Amino acid sequence: MTARRVAREIAVILMPQLPKTKEGGEALEMGALVEKTVRMLADYAKQNLLDAGAILEKTNFELHNIEAEHQDNARSTQVLKPVQFTTEQLREQIAQVERALHLVAEALDVPEMTLASGSSSINIPCKQCGHTNRATFEKYSHAEIREFLLKLLEAYIEHKAEIDEYIKSTRSKWNVDRMVSIDRDILRLACAEAFFIHEVPINVAISEAVELCHRFADEKAAKFVNGVLADLAEQAKTFRNTGEFPEYIRNAAQVAAAAPVPQDESLEETTF
């Protein structure tokens, strides 16, 4: 996972906590908000690992009880004999282990796990010749992730009104306020990247948005986001070349920015 992809994932998690107006963004301590989110992600990962451990311990206890209560071990007082399990019993225990593995995988997938700088190495011994190979894995620096994250969020906050108007202008005439929240957040971030972060190619911004959908939503969301961004790709290219918004975007954005913020657009607390 690249540093920018980590930043994008954290940005998606941060989106519900961002202010809904440019003025609110100016008063926001973005650094503190990022640090809070990173700590929250770390706590979430730790809790997942604790839950996974508890599930495995419960599974081990249940397997022991099945052996102890089996008729072949009715007279055993110390060492239990191996016993045969029914397919139903095996399915129940496998389901528990799969749930534990899912929790572990989810914990390891938390972006915070990649924030440490430097590198780590592991030794891989060859069982045939005895030679040991050393593999080194580079980690991404906190500063690299943070820099891109802040650039992405600031671009969104600065140009939220224009971004929403661009989305509304697509052939499908999407109503931003009626979209599924996670789809809307990914779409807004992708537009911020495609229009305003010039070092990222437009096609990369689109493909990364589709990957975020696979990570946080589903295939239906991925197709939806890809379709909307495909409609906007040419407009993003034009804006990058000229640096100017079309007049209809400027006018609509001014009207939208002057409108009062709806009650359901207040800041939300991200939960897991």
Give per-residue pLDDT as tens, 187-244. Answer: 999 999 999 999 999 999 999 999 999 988 899 999 999 999 999 999 999 999 999 9
Max CA pair span of the chain: 88
Shortest CA distance to 232 belongs to which of 184, 181, 164? 164
85-109 pLDDT, tens digit per residue, is 888 888 888 888 888 887 777 666 6
Q: 217 vs 142, which has greater pLDDT?
A: 217
Q: Averaging pLDDT over each range in 37-51, 216-230, 258-272, which range is the top one?
A: 216-230
pLDDT value at 168 more than 70 = yes
pTM of the model: 0.65
**Cα–Cα distance measured from residue 215 to residue 109, given in angstroms and rounded to the nearest whole number:** 10
